[in-house]
């Protein structure tokens, strides 16, 4: 493996015929997201879905059956194209039964997901990832594939056909690649900082020889985005990528141990998450209207806060600062989880006004799923919520919190086997 060269030994020049991109000006978007968050009532909205307690045992039996079928599939990995298709068919039938009988889905919503072709695009992505990086582990395919599906969802919501584009592939592969390089314990902090600066300048439109093979792969992914979106014609694309890079650097402060106010932590969380989903949308469409910019930025901030609630225990253990670790240190999280539910509901209402008519069933599913995810995350942090708050939330999810925790542990134990199944399906 070649060693990173010192920054000053790598001369940069603008790409021929390409302007140097400037970071996205997101002050207005961040201020809007902050205002929206603070304007939400700190309690669950009255419009949350509800599930009958009388059907709980049947719904939990459906979840148990689905997880059992998933575990069974991990023990008979497919070896041929026919076997792979059979595995996919069985998995989709099993999920369909769960969605219709336990999750509250309607057949038209399931039909919409199937018709959009999400599964086919996911397989295409997995196979392309294995083709370009033969040794890529299933865990990384899964990590990157989640972003592919998020961008596919935005394609559908924007009225586009769901497909794997060069920009979606390259962008989804970019951040596992950079994360691996930055997480490498063999690299010094100086080498990592030098890479971050070279990467920033490459995103801005400057060109220089990569310092090592890993960097070569990363720069080639940037080139894949440039191949679909010429810089001179699509300035928003590269400005949004620079914005993500800036917020990633800023968010390091959350792990630095330095004292930060609640307002600073909230801004860092909303900014980092908002920049990520904003870029998803821009890389799907090339540019977004102001209304879609605002909605994708708010959605990204909401999803980041949801991740922070889900990771509360790990973040407290690792002394990573989030809105929820700060609040949990002072007392109950009821007001914060309630506000997160209201914030998600506000975004769902905005999106309902914006989406293409053909994607309305998908938008409905997103509106249904977000409060379920928040409720599940709050249920996993039961010690930081009041019993009364948790009882109210438990009525909005199809399964008891105790069942969700038990099934979550089973899924965690299955993780390695599931990643091997992903590798087999993408062979």
Q: What is the pLDDT of residues 133-162, one digit of tens each?
A: 888 888 888 889 999 999 999 999 999 999
Query: Can you say how many angstroms the Cα of residue 49 is from the centroid of all Cα atoms in its chain?
Result: 24
Q: Are 121 and 146 in contact (CB under 8 A)?
A: no
Q: Are 164 and 128 in contact (CB under 8 A)?
A: yes
- Domains of the chain, by residue range, sit at 14-40+55-425
Residue 64: count of CB within 10 angstroms of its CB: 16
- What's the whole-number average pLDDT of the chain? 89
Location of structure tokens 């086997």: 417
Task: Tell me, yes or no, if the pTM score tops 0.75.
Answer: yes
What is the CA angle 366-37-367, rounded to 5?
A: 10
pLDDT at 318: 87
Which residues have CB under 8 Å from 342's CB, separation 6+? 40, 41, 42, 43, 44, 45
Q: How far apart are alpha carbons 49 and 135 in whole angstroms? A: 44
Average pLDDT over residues 61-65: 95
CA-based max dimension of the chain: 70
CA nearest neighbour of 156 among 392, 420, 342, 354: 354
Residue 76 has pLDDT above 50, yes or no: yes
pLDDT at 157: 94
Residue 274 confidence class, pLDDT cut points 50, 70, 90: very high
CA nearest neighbour of 283 among 317, 251, 241: 241
pLDDT at 34: 96
pLDDT at 3: 43
Average pLDDT over residues 123-138: 89
Q: Are 211 and 195 in contact (CB under 8 A)?
A: yes
Residue 78 confidence class, pLDDT cut points 50, 70, 90: very high
Q: Are 278 and 293 in contact (CB under 8 A)?
A: yes
- 5 - beta bridge partners? none
Residue 56 has pLDDT above 60, yes or no: yes
Q: How far apart are alpha carbons 148 and 400 in whole angstroms? A: 31
3-state secondary structure of 13: strand
Residue 391 has pLDDT above 60, yes or no: yes
CATH for the 14-40+55-425 domain, from 1.10.600.10, 3.40.50.2300, 1.20.58.1000, 3.40.50.20: 1.10.600.10
pLDDT at 7: 35
pLDDT at 266: 96
Residue 13 has pLDDT above 70, yes or no: no
Q: What is the pLDDT of residues 327-364, one digit of tens each?
A: 999 999 999 999 999 999 999 999 999 998 889 999 99
Alpha helices (H) in 160-212, listed in sequence order: 166-183, 189-204
Q: Is 151 left (phi over 0), alpha (psi -120 to 50) or beta?
A: alpha
Task: Write out the two tokens for 357.
Answer: 């008519």
Task: Tell me the percentage of the chain whose pLDDT exceeds 70.
Answer: 94
């Amino acid at each position: 493996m070649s060693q990173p060269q010192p920054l000053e030994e790598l001369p940069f020049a603008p790409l021929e015929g390409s302007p140097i991109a400037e970071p996205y000006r997101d002050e207005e978007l961040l201020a809007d997201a902050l205002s929206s968050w603070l304007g939400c009532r700190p309690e669950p909205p009255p419009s949350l879905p509800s599930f009958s307690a009388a059907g709980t045992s049947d719904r939990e039996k459906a979840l148990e059956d689905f997880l059992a079928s998933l575990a069974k599939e991990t023990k008979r990995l497919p070896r041929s194209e026919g076997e792979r298709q059979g595995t996919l068919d069985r998995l989709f039938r099993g999920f369909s039964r769960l969605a219709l009988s336990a999750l509250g889905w309607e057949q038209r919503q399931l039909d919409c997901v199937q018709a959009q072709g999400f599964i086919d695009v996911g397989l295409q992505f997995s196979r392309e990832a294995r083709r370009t990086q033969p040794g890529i582990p299933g865990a990384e395919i899964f990590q990157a594939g989640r972003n592919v599906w998020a961008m596919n969802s935005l394609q559908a919501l924007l009225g586009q056909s769901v497909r794997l584009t060069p920009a979606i592939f390259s962008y989804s592969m970019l951040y596992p690649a950079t994360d691996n390089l930055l997480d490498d314990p063999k690299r010094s902090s100086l080498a990592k900082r030098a890479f971050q600066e070279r990467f920033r300048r490459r995103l801005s439109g400057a060109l220089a020889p990569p310092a090592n093979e890993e960097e070569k792969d990363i720069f080639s992914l940037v080139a894949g985005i440039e191949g679909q979106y010429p810089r001179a014609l699509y300035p928003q694309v590269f400005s949004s990528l620079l914005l993500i890079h800036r917020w990633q650097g800023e968010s390091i402060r959350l792990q630095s141990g330095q004292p930060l106010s609640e307002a600073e932590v909230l801004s860092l969380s909303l900014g980092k998450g908002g920049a990520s989903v904003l870029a998803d949308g821009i890389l799907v469409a090339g540019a977004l209207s102001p209304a879609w910019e605002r909605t994708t930025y708010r959605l990204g901030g909401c999803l980041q806060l949801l991740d922070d609630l889900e990771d509360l225990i790990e973040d407290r253990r690792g002394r990573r600062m989030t809105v929820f670790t700060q609040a949990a240190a002072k007392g109950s999280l009821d007001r914060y989880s309630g506000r997160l539910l209201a914030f998600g509901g506000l975004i769902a209402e905005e999106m309902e006004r914006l989406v293409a008519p053909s994607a309305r069933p998908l938008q409905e599913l997103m509106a249904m799923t977000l409060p379920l995810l928040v409720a599940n995350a709050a249920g996993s942090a039961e010690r930081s919520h009041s019993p009364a708050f948790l009882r109210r939330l438990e009525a909005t999810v199809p399964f008891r919190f105790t069942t969700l925790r038990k099934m979550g542990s089973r899924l965690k134990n299955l993780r390695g086997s599931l990643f091997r199944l992903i590798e087999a399906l993408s062979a």
